[in-house]
Amino acid sequence: MITVSNVNKSFANLKVLNDISINFEAGKTNLIIGQSGSGKTVLLKSIVGLHEVDSGSIFYNDRNFTSMNLKGKKEIRKEIGMVFQGGALFDSMSVEENVLFPLDMFSDMNEKEKKDRANFCLNRVNIQNSNHLFPAEISGGMQKRVAIARAIALNPKYLFCDEPNSGLDPVTAILIDNLILEITKEYNMTTIINTHDMNSVMEIGEKIIFISKGNKAWEGSKNEIFDTDNQDLNDFVFASELYKKIKKIS
C-alpha cells in the first residue's frame, strides 16, 4: 500500500499539487485521471521521488519515503517498477538486454538464471523472437510491453505506469491494460496508473482518483463514476458523444 498524505508541490510560483491525500491499495489497479496539466504526472513523479515534495508525506507501507535519506530511497526504489509514457527503453540495448539490465544490476542470479528470468518476463508480456531487436526496430505497443517486462523483472511490490496507452491503437491499448491488471493480481502489487484514456478507466479502473487543477476532486470505482454529481468529473469523463450515450443507457 502507498499512502500520500497532505502533499503540496509548486514550481516557482505555480502551485501544481494542493494538499493531496490518497491511499493506493495493494493488489488493485489505482488510476489517476485528469486533464492534461492537472498535475497527474507531477503527482506520480513525486510519489516515486523524481520530484521533491514541498510538504506532506509519502509512505510505502509503513516506511516514510519523504523523510528517508538517499540510501533508504534507493532501497525502496529497488521494489519499484515503472513504465514510462514513451517506454524509456535504453536505445543502445537490445530488447533482451533491456530486461536483463535490472537483473544485472541488482540480482545475485547467475547468467543462466538471469537469462531465464528475462525470457520469462518477455514471454509473460507476449514478446517472442524479438530478443535481439533494438527499441527503434519494434512497434510502440511492443516497446510498452518490453517496458512492462523490464519493470516486473525484479518482482516489484509497486508498479507505476505513466500513460501506458498513449500513442497506441485501441486494440493494443486494451491488451496493455489487461496485461497490467493481470500482473497486478498475479504479484499482488500496488499499481498506480496515470491516464486520461477513458477506455482504460472503464476497463481496469478498480480505484480511480480524479485530479483537477492540482486538487483531488473525486475518488471511487469505475461503477461509481456513472452516478457521480461532480461536474468537473462528468465534464471530463463524458466529454465524448460515445460516453454521453453510454451514460444515458446506464
Partner 1 sequence: MNLFENVGKFSRFLVLVFSKPEKGKTLFSQIIREIDKLGINSIGIVVIISLFMGAVITLQTAYNMLNPLLPDYLVGYTTRESMLLEFSSTIVGLILAGKVGSNIASEIGSMRVTEQIDALEIMGINSANHLVLPKIIAAIFINPFLYVLSVFVGITGGLLAGYLTGTVNLTDYIDGVQYAFIPYYITYSLIKTAVFAFIITAIPSFYGYYVKGGALEVGRASTKAVVNSSILILLANVILTQILLK
111 binds partner 1 (CB under 8 A): no
Query: Does position 80 bind partner 1 by CB under 8 A?
Result: yes
Q: Which of 77, 115, 185, 247 binds partner 1 (CB under 8 A)?
A: 77
Q: Is 134 in the site for partner 1 (CB under 8 A)?
A: no
CA distances from 67 to 18, 56, 79, 117, 199 (A): 19, 10, 18, 34, 37
Please tell me the count of residues contacting partner 1 according to CB under 8 A: 25
Beta carbon of residue 207, minimum distance to partner 1 (angstroms, whole number): 22
Question: With contact defined as beta carbons under 8 Å apart, do 43 and 195 qualify?
Answer: no
Q: Indicate which single residue of 102, 164, 205, 214 sits in contact with partner 1 (rule: CB under 8 A).
A: 102
- Candidate ranges 45-53, 59-67, 171-179, 238-246; the one touching partner 1 (CB under 8 A): 45-53
> Which of residues 105, 136, 171, 249 is near partner 1 by CB under 8 A?
105
Cross-strand bridge partners of residue 191: 29, 159
Among 18, 23, 85, 215, binds partner 1 (CB under 8 A): 85
Contact 180, 145 (CB under 8 A): no
Q: Is there binding between residue 139 and partner 1 (CB under 8 A)? A: no
CB-CB contact of 48 with 77 (8 Å):
yes
Place of cell 525484479: 154
Give the 3-state secondary structure percentages of the chain, helix then strand then coil, rounded to 5: 40, 25, 35
Of 9-17, 98-106, 114-122, 217-225: span binding partner 1 (CB under 8 A): 98-106
| Cβ atoms of 83 and 151 closer than 8 Å | yes
Q: Does 63 bind partner 1 (CB under 8 A)?
A: no
Spatial distance between the Cα atoms of 159 and 10, rounded to a whole number of angstroms? 25
Among 17, 33, 43, 89, binds partner 1 (CB under 8 A): 89
